[in-house]
Structure 1
Amino acid sequence: MMGPVLAACLLIILSTAWISQANEALCKKDGGVCSCNNNKNSVDCSSKRLTAIPINIPTDTENLKLDYNKLSSLSATAFHRLSSLTYLSLFNNQLQALPEGVFDQLVNLNKLYLQENKLTSLPPGIFDKLTKLTELYLWGNKLQSLPHGVFDKLTQLKELWLGANQLQSLPSGVFDKLTELKTLTLNSNQLRSVPKEAFNSLEKLTWIQLQSNPWDCSCNDILYLSKWIREKQGNVSNIEAANCDQSSKAVLEITEKDAASDCVSPNTTTAIPIGTMTPASVIYDDIHEIKVPQENFQKFLGYQEPDHLPTQPQCLMSISGYLGLMMSLMLTSAAILYVFHFLKKA
């Protein structure tokens, strides 16, 4: 009976070697797609021209960088094995939509970077499982609206970046649950007003961007924003930067006499032609108080230019890694046949 026992042990050893080989193929320096830091459970797949996410990312990965690739879509299960992730970077890709449930398994995620993609909308509930999220970056997309309650579960969120999109209005109560929020950017959108009491829950807010929106100061809907800015002066940085669309007058200077007209719903107002909008790169270069300047963003994320790029970066493993895997599979198959042989004899 010792034969089957030895064969079973051999099978376990070979299986372990196969898994190790798979991870090595993902991260091997001499031709592997990504680089890994096993001590920090970190996988860096930045700037590899990827059109799909590698399938053999280790399940204990905590830090995953997929920025500066060519991802145009994600499968709904793309991250379902990666529940240990605390940091996920997908910025500067070509994502046009997010499938429902794509982030549902990332219950430990703290930081999510989705900026500089081509997102035009967000599915309802897309962030509902990310209850530990503290930073969410969505600027530089093409978002035209936000679903009702899209941020309601993000009660630990401290930074929300929505600038340089195409938002024409905000849903009522969209920020009501964000009581821990300290940073909010809404600059360079198409907002003409905000709902009454939109910012009332943001007691911990210390920095906001409202500039480069066509604020309609002839409409009495602007009076809430004007009053809120005056009350928060000195406590919230950059708050005075919002100017009226019709003049250079600051929103905080608007009185009831100035804004006497009844308002038209923001959803029915004429949108600013997209072609006249200032490019996001120009807008962000002109911001003096931004905490993470665009030119230093790569450094901020720990990004380094790779020494070389593979000739076929979509491949998940090098040729040597593939041959190693095939050898492991052959040995594993032999071990299985060996076990069955002895069991049959017994």
Structure 2
Amino acid sequence: MSTFLYLLLVGAYITKTTSYTCPSGCDCAYYNSIHTLECNSQDLQEIPQNIPEWTTLLELDANELTELDLNFCDVCIYFEDFSFRYNRISNIIIKKNITSRYDKSRNLRCQDSTSIFPRVVNVDLKGNLIQKLPKCLWFVWPVLKILDLRENQIRSIQDLNLSGYFSSTNSMEELYLGGNRISQLIRKDLYSRTLALKRLRILDLSRNKIHTIDSGVFTFLDEIVDVNLSDNKIGFLSDFTFVTRGEKLETISLRRNYIDWISIHAFAGLPNLKRLDLSYNEISCLRPNTFSTCQVPNLNLLIPGLNFVNPELVHFHRRFKVNLSGLQYLQLRSNKWHCDCQLGDLISEQHSTSRIVQQTLLKCYTPMEYQNRSLSSTLALLNCQ
């Protein structure tokens, strides 16, 4: 009898812990330790109730959510992946008992905070109406690694509240901000020792409206390897634009901007740079060793009062040198190349190391008699020594 009762109790326990009702209109699936709840395209205006507590992946894409209240499931501690893409979310609500204050050292601290989702590593909020992230949000996602905020309404990186109060677990590795409304990268955006992005490896800032990047703005992104600034409105690069303390940056994309002037130290401090994309800009000439532009900038066309080298960053001249010997991929097509022997020096130098990608697609823009002629054939006609 005791054996029978034992088996009966075990069976009842298993039934209790494995039989859950999937919310109406949603699909539940199990893949080993991955338990998904998929409620996409259901015209939902709020997150369903009674979410199974074992859920690890929650998808509510293409619904009608206008706010994301992170109090929707107090017992769900196994979440690892959230996807709320293409809703109308403009507001994110965290626990009401989380407050913030400035302590005596002026470092913002979050009080009474608990880890609401201690296992969440990936949050996808692409295609919403988010302008700002709430303070203390990083305490409820303490191990977050990937955050996708593409195609929202963010105007400044400061609106993400990334610095000044972040916990000791700086876990973020990938941050996607493409397709927002960011217009400039100024030092106080990212230049902070208390920044929450010290482990960040990938930063996507493509398809914004960025026209200005301060010198040294990426300094404290110690682990950064990939920066995407394509499809912006950048017109110039000042000294030490991409300097980081870790010097691990490998890929920079500046494709489809308006760059016509690059300072001689713009690419200083990049000994591990492997891929550089400068295609679809307005560059007419580059120096072979520094990839700075040959011409003197027209100061009247740049922002009045702009200091190309911030006085606070003068020490960078002593520490960071231009060393691009590791570069393997260089994309230069569709610029306004002025075909002369000076440009020939650049092509010869890069050709010897097979760096330039699609070299046959490079065409002259000036002089007029060579316009749209391939750069290689023009240089042959010039008979440069």
In 2, Cα distance between the equivalents of 1:166 and 1:179? Answer: 26
Q: Which residue of 2 aligns with 1:152?
A: 243
Letter of the structure 2 residue corresponding to residue 58 of structure 1: W
Q: Relative to total residues, which structure has the larger strand share, 1 or 2?
A: 2
1:127 partnered with 2:206: no
Structure 2 unpaired stretches of 5+? 1-67, 74-81, 94-115, 292-321
Amino acid across the alignment from 1:44: D
Aligned position for 1:189: 281
1:142 aligns with 2:225: no
Partners of 1:156 and 1:178 within 8 A in 2? yes
Please tell me the residue identity of whatever aligns with 2:375: V
Q: Secondary structure at the match of 1:24?
A: coil
Tell me whether 1:24 sits opposite 2:71 in the alignment. Answer: yes
* Residues 1-346 of structure 1 mapped to structure 2, 5 A cutoff: 23-24=70-71, 39-59=119-139, 60=142, 61-75=144-158, 78-80=161-163, 81-82=165-166, 83-103=170-190, 104=192, 105=195, 106-153=197-244, 155-198=247-290, 201-218=323-340, 220-233=341-354, 236-246=356-366, 247-253=371-377, 255=379, 258=382
Checking the alignment, whether the CA contact within 8 Å between 1:78 and 1:102 is kept in structure 2 is no
For 1:37 and 1:203, how far apart are their aligned partners in 2?
44
AA partner of residue 39 (structure 1): R
CA distance in 2, matches of 1:190, 1:31: 38
Cα distance in 1 for partners of 2:160, 2:132 equals: 12
Q: CA deviation at 1:76?
A: 7.0
Q: Which runs of 5+ in 1 are unaligned?
A: 1-20, 261-346
* Alignment check: 8 A CA contact 1:143 1:165 kept: yes
* Range moving further from structure 2, 69-78 or 247-256: 247-256
Q: CA–CA distance in 1 between the matches of 2:264 and 2:282? A: 17
CA shift at 1:230, angstroms?
Answer: 2.7
Deviation at 1:151, TM superposition (A): 1.4
- Whether the 8 Å CA contact 1:162–1:187 is kept in 2: the answer is yes
Query: Relative contact order (C-alpha < 8 Å, sep 6+): which is higher?
Result: 1
Q: Is the 8 A contact 1:89 1:112 kept in 2?
A: yes
* 1:208–1:238 Cα contact (<8 Å) kept: no
Q: Kindly indicate whether the alpha-carbon contact (under 8 Å) linking 1:226 and 1:251 is maintained by their aligned counterparts in 2.
A: no
Structure-2-length-normalised TM-score: 0.54
Q: How far 1:166 sits from its partner (Å)?
A: 0.5
Deviation, structure 1 residue 74? 3.6
Shift in alpha-carbon separation, 1:69–1:76, aligned structure 2, 3 A: closer
Find the residue that maps to 1:102 and give its secondary structure. Answer: helix
Structure 1, 34-43 or 200-209: larger mean CA deviation? 34-43
Q: Could you report, residue by residue, the CA deviation over 1:107-129 in whole angstroms, capped at 9, with x for unpaired residues? A: 11111010000001112221011
Indicate if the aligned counterparts of 1:229 and 1:239 stay in contact, CA closer than 8 A. Answer: no
Alignment TM-score, normalising by the size of structure 1:
0.60
| Alpha-carbon separation, structure 2, partners of 1:236 and 1:191 | 15
- Contact kept, 8 Å, 1:102 with 1:126, in 2: the verdict is yes
Identify if the C-alpha distance between structure 1 residues 25 and 193 changes in structure 2 by more than 3 Å, giving closer, same or farther.
farther
The CA distance in 2 between the partners of 1:259 and 1:119, in whole Å, is 41
Select the structure that is richer in helix. 1
When residues 164 and 125 of structure 1 are mapped into structure 2, their CA distance, relative to the original with a 3 A threshold, is: same
175 and 169 in structure 1: CA distance in 2 versus 1, 3 angstrom threshold: same
Q: Which AA in structure 1 matches 2:271?
A: T
Deviation per CA, 1:93-115: give whole Å up to 9, x if none.
Answer: 01112342322312111110100
Shift in Å, 1:241: 2.9
Shift in alpha-carbon separation, 1:133–1:64, aligned structure 2, 3 A? same
Q: Which amino acid aligns with 1:159?
A: T
Provide the aligned C-alpha RMSD in A. 3.4
Q: State the distance in 1 between where 2:200 and 2:151 align.
A: 20
Which stretch of structure 1 is more off in the superposition, 37-46 or 172-181? 37-46
In the aligned structure 1, how far is the partner of 2:377 from the partner of 2:351?
8
> 1:194 touches 1:225 (CA, 8 Å); kept in 2?
yes
